[in-house]
Amino acid sequence: MGLLSDWQRRTWQGCPIYLHPERPDWLVPGPEADQLLQALQGASSLDEAARRFPGRRSLTATRLAMERLHSQLDHAAPPAYHGRGAELQLTSLKECWFHLTNRCNLACRHCLFAASPAAQETMPPALLRQAISEATELGCTLFYFTGGEPLLYPQFPALLREVLAKPSSQAVVLTNGLLLAEQLAAFTQLDRARLHFQLSLDGLAESHEALRGPGTFDRLLASLDLLRLNNFHATISVAVNRANLGELPAMVKLAAEHGVGNLHLLWHFLRGKGNQGQFVPPAAILPVLLAAHAEAAARGITIDNIESLKGQLFSSPGTRYDGSNAGWESLAIGPDGMVYPSPALVGIDALNCGAVSDGLEKSWRQSPVLAAVRRASLTDSADYEANPFKFLIGGGP
Ligand SMILES: C[S@@+](CC[C@H](N)C(=O)[O-])C[C@H]1O[C@@H](n2cnc3c(N)ncnc32)[C@H](O)[C@@H]1O
Ligand code: SF4
């Protein structure tokens, strides 16, 4: 057995990465350390490794350098892992998504909920208040509002005021932005430090309007400017598809020019009007994402998805990421008054986790669907043994 048999060496564009998949841990060595580590990998003793090293140092100096390097790496066996269902406990809810309505002032060609002006399903206000109050009791402090178009929900600013009445609460509103000007005066009465708007931009003018309709691009930019003028936080969300992928770096530039500090990318769902023709495989997204990241870094703005991945990669060694927080710390409520594991799954019958009217806590703790979601773990995945990046990336939701 080699001295570094618990570490794997991979390369990305010529850059070596050493990974300890089970801990997990990783490092990127400089060229000489890489040579030392490679010699260590195949050898069964430090003497043997030192003899294999092609460098110009003396055997003793090489052996010393190797010993130091070897001792810096953790070789203790990590604790056994039996999946997150066995490791975690339900403690408190952190966030709740409220899909207020399927009504929309647009009828976008990619909409996973096929929302439109004709759609009617809307969460009854009393049920919504019950859900917000129960979620708060369960520890939730982050309230997302989406749809359809949440700004069409009756007395929406008053709803935000109720949510933000608790000083620890934060609200995030996902919106197409077109109705912002009408409600801005009411929004300015709220605590801007705890109210965030996420506006959808689905490409430069032509691609955006091909999905969202004529005139929507300029109106969106005007809303962004209005938010900036009134000191609101705004994020841009981009549903990445075949038509707008190549425009991502230019969209980053546009966002920066309109004072937006970060972008949030949504990966395409094949649901509702979202179709296969719009889908882009992840491998095709990566180079454009890297170019967009470079553009963002040059302009001092961030891409949420990269920041959250960075957060995972630079966690303390030994931190295992396994799945999303759906069903554990996060729930979604649909316009039908039903609970679902996550916002993209709202309205899917097989994933109905129970009625809010029967109690949010009951669904959260007792729904068999949520129990299955919580049990689902990387340990079930086909490439669990073979994938050295699994605990760093955490798998899909
Ligand atoms: C469903 S909309 C609701 C909020 C609001 N109406 C809006 O458009 O921002 C929320 C986000 O989902 C995105 N979206 C719609 N259809 C999608 C799909 N098929 N795949 C991924 N994201 C999608 C939208 O572009 C938007 O950013
Ligand atoms: S993506 Fe948003 S704006 Fe477009 S139809 Fe769907 S809900 Fe409406």
Same domain, 130 and 252: yes
Q: What is the pLDDT of residue 5?
A: 87
- Considering the entire predicted model, what is its pTM? 0.95
Query: Average pLDDT in the 174-196 region?
Result: 98
Mutation probe of ligand 2 site: the residue of 102, 106, 271 with most atoms within 8 A of C-beta: 106
What's the 134 CA to ligand 1 centre distance in angstroms? 27
Q: What is the pLDDT of residues 280-325, one digit of tens each?
A: 999 999 999 999 999 999 999 999 999 999 999 999 999 999 999 9
Q: What is the pLDDT of residues 60-76, one digit of tens each?
A: 999 999 999 999 888 88
Same domain, 31 and 145: no
Q: Is residue 141 part of a domain?
A: yes
β-partners of residue 234 are 197
Query: Average pLDDT in the 120-129 region?
Result: 98
Same domain, 94 and 68: no
| % pLDDT > 90, the chain | 91
Residue 321 in tokens: 């990421």
Residue 323 in tokens: 């799945």
Q: What is the pLDDT of residues 130-172, one digit of tens each?
A: 999 999 999 999 999 999 999 999 999 999 999 999 999 999 9
β-partners of residue 170 are 142
In this structure, which amino acid lies at residue 74? D
Please classify residue 187 by burial: count the beta carbons closer than 10 Å to its beta carbon, then call 0-12 exposed, 13-18 middle and 19+ buried: buried
Q: Which residues of 85-104 are buried (b: 16+ CB within 10 A; e: fewer)?
A: beeeeeeebbbbbbbbbbbb
Same domain, 41 and 96: no
Residue 62 in tokens: 């090489």
Q: Is residue 82 part of a domain?
A: no
By C-alpha distance, which of 59, 31, 55, 33 is closest to 46? 59
CB count within 10 Å of CB 39 equals 22
Residue range(s) defining the domain that contains residue 33:
8-72
**CB contact at 8 A, 131 and 98:** yes
CB count within 10 Å of CB 131 equals 23
Q: What is the pLDDT of residues 344-373, one digit of tens each?
A: 999 999 999 999 999 999 999 999 999 999
Q: Is residue 340 part of a domain?
A: no
Q: What is the pLDDT of residue 42?
A: 84
Can you tell me the distance from the alpha carbon of 304 to that of 89, in angstroms, rounded to the nearest whole number? Answer: 27
CATH number of 211's domain: 3.20.20.70
Q: What is the pLDDT of residues 47-60, one digit of tens each?
A: 999 988 877 778 89
Give 395's pLDDT tier (boundaries 50, 70, 90): confident
Same domain, 134 and 50: no
What's the number of domains the chain is made of?
2
CA Rg value for the chain: 25
- Ligand 1: residues with CB < 6 A are 104, 110-113, 146-147, 149, 174-176, 200, 202, 237, 239, 266, 268-269, 271, 274
Same domain, 28 and 120: no
